[in-house]
Structure 1
Amino acid sequence: MSNFTITEEREKIKESSTFIKNFLDTTRIEHPDLEYPTILIICGSGLGGIASRISSDTFSIAQAYAEIPYFKTSTVPGHVGRFLFGKMNGTSVVLMEGRLHSYEGYAIQDTVFPLRVLHELGTIKTVIIKNAAGGLNRDFKACDLMCINDHINLPGLAGLHPLKGPNFEEYGPRFLPLSDAYDLELRKLLFKKMNDLNLPRTLHEGIYAFVSGPTFESRAESRMLHIMGADAVGMSTVPEVIVARHCGWKVLALSLITNVSVLDSTPKVTDHNPAAMDEGVASHTEVLENGKIASKDVERLIEAVVGDI
């Protein structure tokens, strides 16, 4: 690790997990319906509304990241920054309402620290990861969905990798295979539930490119990613997928296409079309607005999937 030894990191993980266990155990004295979670759901920008799917018939409890030892706080609009424990469709879950990103100034190991801590609970076997992404595939449009079946980890290939440094042997191997990162049976279940619910939007399947951010991609970068085979691009998810697999969890990941990336070349002075410079310019406001438009369908879909895991 960059600023600490693996022994120190293990001690931090243990202290944080003990804090959460004590929090849950104390709460369960008065609210026995509260159970240790078996599924982790990570919410992306504008997708925290899934919290409304926590059953009102059972007790749920929130724990802010800022109150947990060694946790960083989320600084991005649309990310609440807390755990929410409860039941969804009869299954005990924990929601991460807001994630951490390296572009916020955190070490990439800090962005996946919550997964390491939750793994110490000993009950989580599956993670469902949601994100907002830019569409690179020309068949995609805003508010479509994409089930991730593979990824391109550009920061990781360049050395910014969540498993860089001493390996946590008690979690997983030094050299982790990722050819099976996105569970096939969970992907089949997602498509089945999409058909069962007859939701009014398209669910694609494709490859997600992870970039560091925080800038949205240039036209040339978008074309490069498209040529490399990516169908969508975003600034999260892949570090979490890697650590989840290192923990032995099954992974299901879903992108909400909140904007369509511009693949056309930058207009030249000789084109005499200055308005073309403004076409397709991305913004975080657009991401959040389109997240709201499709969020109810995403919530119903995830709730249905959770019920059958």
Structure 2
Amino acid sequence: MSKWQQAIDAIRAKTSIQPKIGLILGSGLGMLADEIEQADVIPYHEIPGFPTSTVEGHAGELVLGTLEGQPVITMKGRFHLYEGHGLDSVTFPIRVMKQLGVEIILVTNAAGGINTEFAAGDLMLITDHLNLMYRNPLIGPNDNELGARFPDMSTAYDPQLRQLAKKVAQSQGISLQEGVYAGVLGPSYETPAEIRMMRTIGADAVGMSTVPEVIVARHAGIKVVGISCISNMAAGILPQPLSHAEVMETAEKVKSIFIGLVKGLIREM
């Protein structure tokens, strides 16, 4: 039995939900999982193959239920390379979601603002990404049953879902930024020189997640829409040090706007 099948069997033994939408909730954004109705909560340690999240703001639970009438599966906390996990572990839940029937993944993260027109507390619709982790989860032998050897990434973030997100944001009076997300390894925050480099090559925000999951989702044929919470301005933009406490504080301040946007988007899917 494959490692994916073991995980799927463990999940199906604990829930009857057949999810169509997957949600990956970043630092401080796990409160959205509390909105899920008829929820079945499965701690990661009860699922074979799932590592354990070690970061504050990442609860480490899989939550299945309904949100705005849609059957969803939610990662309340994700895994990062900087925790010491390998790419297989970081992206393992995406493969499991695909096998459970997920067709769309909404990925969220807390990110540092590089675009100087942004401000802490903004929400940014991800239009594209830069893989500055310099690692790809598809390296190695390819299983053609999982996806193509050379998957196309020209529309990694689905254009139709992005348009839908903008429509929902407008209807709610939300000023939704748009931009390119740069994924880096971490866990140290970037230097001011690195931020200047990223701005030069086209990044609008930077974070330590998302890119591996999106690559595997697209390889699996899952549509992706991504939203970053700009939790702070990146190094060198403002004369202040960076901290994870600031990330959590900003996420708390924007939670009602964030929840409203995500729920509205799911309702329209």
Band of TM-score, shorter chain: over 0.9
Q: Does 1:285 align with 2:245?
A: yes
Structure 1 Cα separation of the partners of residues 105 and 154 of structure 2: 17
Aligned residue number for residue 91 of structure 2: 112
Code of the residue aligned with 1:39 in structure 2: it is I
Aligned to 1:16: 7
**Shift, 1:263, TM fit:** 3.8
- Matched with 2:104 is 126
CA distance in 2, matches of 1:134, 1:243: 24
1:161 paired residue number = 136
SS in 2 for 1:60: strand
The Cα offsets for residues 3-57 of structure 1, whole Å up to 9 and x where unpaired, read as: xxxxxxx811121112112222xxx4xxxxxx211000100000011012213xx
Which structure shows the higher strand fraction? 2
Matched, 1:40 2:22: yes
Q: What CA distance in whole angstroms lies between the structure 2 residues aligned with 1:214 and 1:69?
A: 26
2:193 match: 220
Match of 2:165 in 1: 190
Deviations along 1:138-157, one digit per CA (max 9) or x if unpaired, are 1001001110111100123x
Q: Residue 155 of structure 1 aligns to a residue in which SS?
A: coil
- 5+ residue gaps, structure 2, are none
State the Cα RMSD in Å.
Answer: 1.3
Contact conserved, 2:14 with 2:40, CA < 8 A, in 1? no
Q: Quick one: which amino acid aligns to residue 41 of structure 2?
A: A
| Alpha-carbon distance between aligned partners in 1 of 2:40 and 2:8, rounded to the nearest angstrom | 16
| Matched residues, number | 269
Rg (Cα) greater in structure: 1
TM normalised by structure 1 equals 0.85
Percent identity of equivalent pairs: 43
Q: How does 1:1-309 map to 2 (within 5 A)?
A: 11-24=2-15, 28=16, 35-55=17-37, 59-121=38-100, 123-156=101-134, 160-199=135-174, 202-263=175-236, 279-309=239-269
User: Between Structure 1 and Structure 2, which shows a larger proportion of helix residues?
Assistant: 1
Alpha-carbon distance between aligned partners in 2 of 1:150 and 1:185, rounded to the nearest angstrom: 14
Structure 1 spans left out of the alignment, 5+ residues:
1-9, 29-34, 265-277
Give TM-score scaled by structure 2 length. 0.97
Which contiguous aligned blocks of 4+ residues in structure 1 show a shift greater than 4 angstroms? none
Contact 1:260 1:280 in 2 (8 A): no
